[in-house]
Structure 1
């Protein structure tokens, strides 16, 4: 018997289906590159060398997520980190290896965009639009608050942990 799926499980599965195939395409092109690098690369293309804080601001990702991804990209040889004006600040800058990948990455990103648009024609609504709406709603009222308003703990269960 299969257990019922939860929202989190289904979202992870969706992301695995999307990112897994995108990463297989990168590998088929001979690129040692991960889908999670894309928001960092796109931010750096727009603003040039930038701090983790600036990349987080431009990409919409958390500071922690950007910091972890930038560290991974440095290990892949795609970014160099230099000290910023503040001793705690690090400036990320693309390496020659990343710059050489960009033409193929741009082709792949354009194909991915077109494939996503075709996927949307099979859905009841645009996946990107729905995800954007969900993010906006959760930024307005976090999921933790939503759960707190829905929770019911019987008195006997609550007293069991005192």
Structure 2
């Protein structure tokens, strides 16, 4: 077991926690016979299940990531045979990201892992002062209200 990063190194600590969580989720997918499936695919799968085929721009908005991040994830998923890019019938300039038959066939296993991960998260949250998701949402809202760069600049002026 590694020593956790210094709490003052918040970015390093956040990456460390993400690596711990995502690493274990990825291991579970491999153990479940889904070695090509990545934790970062789940928000995309959820969005496509909820909304149907989407252009990358709308997929990015639905998932809450940049266009570039959504495009990269969709490309990884296409290489894994989980999505296709099909022409948009309403706009020939755009392509839609759509789940493949293979992805639909894997859904019961993927959704079972989602349920197990949610249960594990509830258990972890019970050990924390507040649920991790709530804390991270609070942090995101605070930084959206006043960007971290502005806070750093203000500290320099004091």
* TM-score > 0.5, shorter chain as reference: yes
Equivalent position of 2:67 in the other structure: 63
CA contact (8 A) 2:60 2:70 kept: yes
What 5-or-longer segments of structure 2 have no aligned partner?
A: none
Q: Which runs of 4+ in 1 moved over 2 A?
A: 2-5
Residue of 100, 113, 133 corresponding to 2:138: 133
CA contact (8 A) 2:60 2:66 kept: yes
Equivalent position of 2:87 in the other structure: 83
Structure 1 residue 83, shift from structure 2 partner: 2.6
Equivalent position of 2:127 in the other structure: 122
RMSD of aligned C-alpha atoms? 1.7
Structure 1 residue 151, shift from structure 2 partner: 2.3
User: Larger radius of gyration, structure 1 or 2?
Assistant: 1
Equivalent position of 1:34 in the other structure: 38
TM norm structure 2: 0.89
Q: Secondary structure of 2:86's match?
A: strand
TM norm structure 1: 0.87
